[in-house]
Every structure is written in structure tokens, then in C-alpha cells.
Amino acid sequence: MGKPPTVVIAKDSIKAKKTIDLPDLNKRLLALPDNKTEHLPGYLPLVPGMPVLLQENIACELGLSNGTAGIFRELIYNHTSDIDVSIDKNLFPSDTIFVSDAQYALIEIPKSKMTQLDSLDPLIVPIPVIEKTFSVNIEKLYADKGPMMKLLNSKNLKTSISVKRKGLPLIPAYSITTHKSQGQTLRNIVIDLNMPPGTVEVASAYVPLSRVQQLSDLVVLRDFHISALQVKPSKGQLAELNRLGIIFEQTKKRYAKYFT
């Protein structure tokens, strides 16, 4: 896009009775995947015009729920805040703009039911910074540092710590998982039907293939084995289908006038 990326750095604070002074703790917390941090990423790279996905139910009645897709337009933040030197800047290009005090992001969300807000363009929704708390196992966090456990024992620290994170509930959405796409109708999609090893569910192929309204809006990324489309329902799924079938027949008899 010809624009330098802006990386929003989450703010972490340790909830403990005593100060925890461990080397690189802030850097290691920021590097955790967002599925370990209540879906608030430590590093959130943003470029105007890029697709993003909402990670939090903010106002479901207005179409602002977990999984809602949008386009990032602008970041509102405090330009005077200093950046913590412990962040890992080597992960990003040299022209990256780092932001540690974001306030909210302006996201274009076509499916939003919000009325136009004063001074904002149509379809633009401000998504604010939120706070979440998650637990971290220090032993696993420093698994690559053998002597760390001796240091923990010498300081009488608990193995698990509670972290309060302040950040934007957004992630880049150039690609999304099948589970995240559930319930969405998309304009154009590219699907990878090469299944990972292990048990494959019926939904693994059905969900992504049914996100578009017509076949011409769908492209399969690469060749795949026909077995991906021949998955049979599990015993549990068949039992549930039979249960629903029985309820349906009972409902038809009880409310016959609605089925004529």
C-alpha cells in the first residue's frame, strides 16, 4: 500500500502483591499469541485500508460482535507517549510507527447498524481500547531459560501470574479460519481445502464452501484430495440429527395447522 505500518503495543500490568522483577517479562508477554491473552494481541500491525476482524462483542444489536469484519481507516492515539524500550522492534520494518497509548480505531463496517456519528464518514465506527485479564504460567513463559526456575524459587514467586492487558480488540484479517467465518456471507473467498492431519469434521469443508452465494465467487487455492468432500457425520452428529428429527415430527403433530 506504500504506507509505513503502525504497530499498536498493548499495555500490560501485573496484578500481584509484590513487585515481580524478571528479565524480558514485558517482551515475553507481548509475544504471546492472542489465543493466550483473551484475544488482545500484544503487537497489532495496522495500515489504512487493510481488513480487520473484531475480537469482542461490543454491541451485538448494532452488528458489532466477535467475528465482524471491517476495514481499518485511522488510529486515534496520544502522540506524546513514550515507547517502552523492551519491545521487540526487530519484528517489524525500520519505518514502523510504534504506538503505546492508543485510544480507539476508526473502522469501516458495512454491516454495522449504527447511525452515522457526528464528524465521521458513513459506516465508520470507533472501536475503543478495552481491558482484559489473563493468567500466565511463568515456568512455560521462560521454558527456554533453564536457570529461571532457580530464580523464581529464590524470589518465592508464584508459578502463575495474573496480567491485566489494555489493547484494541482487533486482528488483521487477510485470512481467517473456518471457525471464524461461521455465520458470515462473504463476497469473494479463496479456500484451502488441504486438511490438517487428525480427525476431519463435516463442517471443515461445508462451512468455508457455503460462505458465498454463488460458485463464481469462490476459488480453491490448490489441488485437494476428494476425501475432503466425502467426510461422513460422526456418531454424535447423527444422534443429534435423529433427535432433532423426532422433535420436528412431534412439533408437526402438535401444531399441525402451521404445517398445512
pLDDT in tens, 156-210: 566 788 999 999 999 999 888 888 888 888 889 999 998 888 888 888 899 999 9
How many domains does the chain fold into? 2
* Residue 1 located in a structural domain: no
Give the pLDDT band of residue 18 (cuts 50, 70, 90): low
My answer on whether 29 and 58 are in the same domain is yes
Kindly state the percentage of the chain with pLDDT values over 70.
92
Predicted local distance difference test score (pLDDT) of residue 23: 76
Distance CA 7, CA 100 (A): 9
Average pLDDT, the chain: 88
* Residue 68 located in a structural domain: yes
What Å distances lie between residue 146 and 126, 139, 151, 157, 167, CA to CA? 45, 9, 10, 16, 31
* Mean pLDDT for the stretch of residues 227-243: 91
Predicted local distance difference test score (pLDDT) of residue 45: 94
Q: Which of 172, 193, 221 is the last residue of a domain?
A: 172
Q: Which of 139, 172, 205 is the last residue of a domain?
A: 172
Give Cα 62 distance to the centre of its chain: 19
- Three cell numbers written together for 25: 517479562
Could you tell me the end-to-end alpha-carbon distance of the chain, in angstroms, rounded to an integer? 58
Q: Residues near 125 by Cβ (< 8 Å), separated by ≥ 6?
A: 64, 70, 106, 107, 108, 109, 112, 114, 117
Domain span at residue 86 reads: 6-172
pLDDT higher than threshold 60 for residue 254: yes
My answer on whether 122 and 163 are in the same domain is yes
pLDDT higher than threshold 90 for residue 42: yes
Distance CA 38, CA 165 (A): 9
pLDDT tens-digit map of 87-124: 878 888 889 999 999 999 999 998 888 888 888 888 99
My answer on whether 13 and 120 are in the same domain is yes
Predicted local distance difference test score (pLDDT) of residue 75: 96
Predicted local distance difference test score (pLDDT) of residue 241: 94
My answer on whether 28 and 121 are in the same domain is yes
Q: Residues near 36 by Cβ (< 8 Å), separated by ≥ 6?
A: 134, 136
Predicted local distance difference test score (pLDDT) of residue 199: 81
- From the list 207, 55, 182, the residue with the least C-alpha distance to 129 is 55
Instruction: Give the residue with greater pLDDT, 53 vs 148.
Output: 53
Distance CA 10, CA 189 (A): 31
* Mean pLDDT for the stretch of residues 38-56: 94
* Mean pLDDT for the stretch of residues 132-160: 74
Q: Which of 153, 172, 191 is the last residue of a domain?
A: 172
pLDDT higher than threshold 60 for residue 155: no
